[in-house]
Structure 1
Amino acid sequence: MDDIVRQALAKWPNVPSCTGWLMLDRRGNWRMRDEAAQASGSPGVPVRHEALLGFINRNYDCDERGQWFFQNGPQRVYVELGYTPWVVRLSADADGALALQDQAGNAFEASAVFADDHGGILFADDHGGILFADASTPPRIAVLHDHDLEVFADHAQLADDSLSGEFRWNNGVVLTLEPLRRDDVASRFGFVQSPAAIA
């Protein structure tokens, strides 16, 4: 969190939070949602300003109820999620080494991989070895950007049902592709997809 945000929180600790105004879409784009966008259910306008994107990404966090938010100075802006709290891009370098990077530009280390019943691929990052062992700290879950499904397929061996198989990760690590219902993702990984819906 930025120092300026910490200072604003200390100075104005009781600023009401807001919901519905910011969305992280299925492709990792931050979107501003005015009243018309919220009323129509549209995703809103993509944020393009680089400094603002950096500010959002640095001040993106989760509360104790699994609601993700952007701490905008003293105000907590709860985020509507297009799917998961993280969206990752998958790339392979010239030597075939794979890298996952989240929407904030940070490395994402895959510890598990899932295929949902809508054709989406998800990765879990286990925070250094606690995957599913500590329910109080759920692993980060990220959906793979759909433009990178071909890269994924180049390193996966899928069963006929396309919901199971194996994914060949770095250093000879093979991750078992596990089936997962899209409707179960939020509860299994401890996040709220729409804070506005429960506000």
Structure 2
Amino acid sequence: MDDIVKAALAKWPNVPHCYGWLGLDARGNWYMRDDRCQAAGPFARAEGDDRVASKGSLLKHEKLIEFIHRNYAADEQGQWFFQNGPQRVYVELENTPFIWRVQPDGRVRSHTGPDAGEVRQSLLDEQGRLYLVTAMGLGLVHTSDMALAADAVESGRWVPEPVQWSALPIDRGFVRSPQHLQVREAQPVGKT
């Protein structure tokens, strides 16, 4: 975490959290989601949800993206956020908290930049998407890197195990939509 962020947290410790305004897609791109975009629909379609997804505006400012990457973390509930000064901006995930980029030498890097570390497990969902569990956690292999990933599978370095996409958050301890969780927790008991 940046020193300037730590200083802001110390100065303003009780700033309310922000939900729904930032999304991470399955290719590692960040999207800003204003009120209009949020009203148009969720960042990503959830199982059983027939609403159209509304991603928002693709972030292109390199320095802002680097700042987000340096200050990206998870809370105790597995909700991923960007610590923006004293405020936590919770992230809507299209798939997983990390998007892995497979390097030609076989290393795996996070969409945030650092090496992911040793691949401990590989998983394949019902749609044919490949996930890796590394020292950093769970992530989806970027679609552009599937040829390199196929080489790792064919050589026996990775042996994918079957997994259900909908079960990943529960099995791996992360939340795809902190905004949806907030709304659900705010509802009176007995209402859904």
**TM-score bracket relative to the smaller structure:** 0.7 to 0.9
1:187 aligns with 2:141: no
Looking at structure 2, the residues matched to 118 and 36 of structure 1 have their Cα atoms a distance apart, in angstroms, of 31
Amino acid at match of 1:145: H
Looking at structure 1, the residues matched to 181 and 152 of structure 2 have their Cα atoms a distance apart, in angstroms, of 39
Q: Which residue of 2 aligns with 1:71?
A: 83
Q: CA deviation at 1:156?
A: 2.0
Q: Which residue of 2 aligns with 1:111?
A: 120
Q: CA deviation at 1:116?
A: 0.7
Gaps of 5+ in 1: 128-139, 158-166, 169-173
Pick from 138, 141, 162 the counterpart of residue 141 of structure 1.
Answer: 138
Task: Pick the structure with more strand per residue.
Answer: 1
Looking at structure 2, the residues matched to 9 and 151 of structure 1 have their Cα atoms a distance apart, in angstroms, of 41
State the secondary structure of the residue aligned to 1:48.
Answer: coil
**Percent of paired sites with the same residue:** 44
Looking at structure 1, the residues matched to 63 and 21 of structure 2 have their Cα atoms a distance apart, in angstroms, of 19
Q: Which residue of 2 aligns with 1:11?
A: 11
Q: CA deviation at 1:40?
A: 1.5
Amino acid at match of 2:15: V
Amino acid at match of 2:110: D
Looking at structure 2, the residues matched to 148 and 126 of structure 1 have their Cα atoms a distance apart, in angstroms, of 20
1:155 aligns with 2:169: no
Amino acid at match of 2:143: D
Q: Which residue of 1 aligns with 2:45?
A: none
Q: Which residue of 2 aligns with 1:85?
A: 97
Post-superposition CA distance 1:7-26 (Å, at most 9, x none): 10111100000100000111
Amino acid at match of 2:10: A
Q: CA deviation at 1:44?
A: 1.1
Q: CA deviation at 1:60?
A: 0.5
Q: CA deviation at 1:45?
A: 1.1
Post-superposition CA distance 1:25-47 (Å, at most 9, x none): 11000110111211122111111
Post-superposition CA distance 1:34-74 (Å, at most 9, x none): 11211122111111111101110011111011100000001
Q: Which residue of 2 aligns with 1:47?
A: 59
RMSD of aligned Cα (Å): 1.2
Q: TM-score, normalised on structure 2? A: 0.84
Looking at structure 2, the residues matched to 23 and 116 of structure 1 have their Cα atoms a distance apart, in angstroms, of 22
Looking at structure 1, the residues matched to 92 and 115 of structure 2 have their Cα atoms a distance apart, in angstroms, of 23
Gaps of 5+ in 2: 42-53, 183-192
1:62 aligns with 2:80: no
State the secondary structure of the residue aligned to 1:21.
Answer: strand
Q: Which residue of 2 aligns with 1:131?
A: none
Amino acid at match of 1:149: M
State the secondary structure of the residue aligned to 1:77.
Answer: strand
Post-superposition CA distance 1:66-113 (Å, at most 9, x none): 100000001110000010000011121xxxx31211111111121111
Q: How many residues align?
A: 169
